[in-house]
Structure 1
Amino acid sequence: MDQFVVLTVYCGLIVAASMLGGALPTLMRLTHTRMQLMMSGVGGLMLGVGTLHLLPHGIAESGSIDLAVGGMFVGILTMFLLMRVFHAHQHAPVENEYPEAVGEEHTHDHDDHQHVHHHDRHGHCDHDHSHADDGPKSPWRWLGIFLGLSLHTLIDGIALAAAVAAAAHVESGLGRLAVGVFLGIVLHKPLDALSITFVMRASGWSATAMNLINFGYSLMCPIGVVMFYLAIGSLDSTVRHHVVGASLGFAAGVFICISLADILPEIQFHSHDKWKLTSALVLGALLALAIGWLEPPHTHRHQPVPAGSGRSPVVLPLPADRQ
């Protein structure tokens, strides 16, 4: 299937998923547990896609471990800085649960985005963690989340385009579709869109305004796809392989950072749901592993090593058209 057709279908589904995410509170009862289960499952999937798919394909496409891993490092750092600067990637549940589990040990006030964790009973933790500004609430407080998530979604579009471009080496079958990357993005978009519309709703914005902002946000992924192809269109074949490989490594870093940002905070502060959340995480990771069965096995050859470098040859997988 032509790359353009695949990406058009994917982008359409991602836009629809983003719009659906913004409307989720009106379609279903979003309890705290349901939100955490979705986050854990998608987090496990993205962790598996980043480590089992994006990074190996980045190495295969570029022919360089250093280039792909360097891209992954930059991706992790970039996503961390986006979260730090824009306070992006906050998934706010609509309803609280487990009042019996709150008490003095675990307090969640999700309407104000406050998380206060006290563990005085164990004598070693008194943690006050706030996701909101201490000043008066502004009707524009959603803007930082919107900007951060929009940049994040542009990166998702670049990742999707790079994955589909790399999968074009596959002669036939579902391996040409880069299913893992697509699923990681499309399943995560509703949670991101919900973050924006939740804060807008709490600030008193109308449904029309929320839908318009959410639609603008949903277009960021297709824009990222277009940006990627405009950037590599004039490159020669060798440089294009390096750029695609580095982009896949970068995307792996982004996926890994996002997944851990979703998963790690829940390990310590949600002991009452630990088996549910762990099961969802494992199922997501197993889905990422299963997607690998759709991909053809890599072939390998030895990369030449400069004389006198003191380094042993490294076996690297290469795309079929470069062997």
Structure 2
Amino acid sequence: MMPVLSLFCVLIVAVSVLGGIFPLARLLDHTRLQVYLSFAAGSMLGAAFFHMLPEAVEGGSPSTIRWTGVGLLGLFFLERFFSFHHHEPQVPSPEGGHDHGHASHGRHPSRNTPDALSWWTAAFGLAVHSLVGGVALASAVAADHAARGAIGATGWGVFLATLLHKPADSLTIVTLMLRSGAPRRLAHAVNLGFAAMIPLGVLLFVLGLGGLSADAASRGRSIALAFSAGTFLCIALSDLLPELQFHSHDRWKLSVALIAGFALMAGTASIELF
């Protein structure tokens, strides 16, 4: 199990660091970014429904699903008080022009906008939910290992969903830092530290289950999967729901990307990979 988790962590750290470079290289325009986010959100929804929740119930009981609500609300309140979930800072537009910014989400412009949001607050909020993401990844791989002795569809599904979404979070933090005038060297250092949150979450999960009995460890894996599924649902909906108001002009592109991400997870659920 540990070699697989180590490899997954290395790959996730690599794409996370690259995600933080995007604001410097300007590789993504508005439309491409939103298509990518829709695809990543679809994959997270699919991972929750096709992989994490079924595995949580199979390894625990139907009542384990209650932890999904705890995870969803927990991340919701984390973002409400520390960092709302957005990936594209608001870009000033000419008076009367259409603002493609994803940040305000209909809120009053004087509150909760990237200009009013300090980068360290965003970094803290996103770092905590990345720790939870590490727990999600480790619990998925651990559930596969306990059930079949090898990596299976659940572990692959959660890994792919995490791999697809992680660069967007790095992009958010680095962009906010650059907009606030932070030195680029500091931005790169913070980006690297943020990328390490997934491996840290994996380590915390492994250490937490290490001293438990087999039955307790099984219950712990199921609870962690259900809880993490709630956080995946919260993250995905945070990316998707603002599109109902701000992205009607790209509705077909974004809808196809969403369905493609969801279908990817459905496909991995139907084929066990070893």
TM-score (norm 1): 0.78
Mapped to 2, the partners of 1:42 and 1:196 lie a distance apart of 18
Using CA pairs below 8 Å that are at least 6 residues apart, which structure has the higher relative contact order?
Answer: 2
Given residue 151 of structure 1, which amino acid in structure 2 is its aligned partner? V
User: What's the CA shift for 1:24?
Assistant: 1.1
Mapped to 2, the partners of 1:221 and 1:170 lie a distance apart of 23
Partner of 2:99: 107
Mapped to 1, the partners of 2:128 and 2:20 lie a distance apart of 18
Mapped to 2, the partners of 1:254 and 1:38 lie a distance apart of 19
Mapped to 1, the partners of 2:259 and 2:109 lie a distance apart of 29
Given residue 260 of structure 2, which amino acid in structure 1 is its aligned partner? L
Match of 2:8 among 7, 10, 25: 10
User: What's the CA shift for 1:93?
Assistant: 5.2
User: What's the CA shift for 1:264?
Assistant: 1.0
Mapped to 1, the partners of 2:231 and 2:179 lie a distance apart of 29
Q: CA RMSD of the aligned region, Å? A: 2.6
Q: Is the 8 A contact 1:41 1:281 kept in 2?
A: yes
Mapped to 1, the partners of 2:257 and 2:265 lie a distance apart of 13
Match of 1:147 among 102, 121, 124: 124
Aligned: 1:196 with 2:183: no
| Alignment: residue pair count | 273
Match of 1:209 among 186, 194, 205: 186
> Structure 1 or 2: larger strand share?
1
User: What's the CA shift for 1:259?
Assistant: 0.6
TM-score (norm 2): 0.91
Aligned: 1:76 with 2:72: yes
Partner of 2:144: 167
Classify the secondary structure of the residue corresponding to 1:107: coil
User: What's the CA shift for 1:26?
Assistant: 3.3
Ranges in structure 2 where 5+ consecutive residues have no aligned partner: none
Partner of 1:89: 85
Partner of 1:313: none
User: What's the CA shift for 1:132?
Assistant: 4.5
C-alpha spacing 1:130/1:10, structure 2 compared with 1 (3 Å): farther
Aligned: 1:27 with 2:25: yes
User: What's the CA shift for 1:18?
Assistant: 1.1
Identity %: 40
> Structure 1 or 2: larger helix share?
2
User: What's the CA shift for 1:265?
Assistant: 0.9
Classify the secondary structure of the residue corresponding to 2:99: strand
Mapped to 1, the partners of 2:218 and 2:107 lie a distance apart of 47
Superposition misfits of 4+ residues, deviation over 3 angstroms: 26-29, 93-97, 106-110, 127-134, 169-174
Q: Is the 8 A contact 1:169 1:176 kept in 2?
A: no
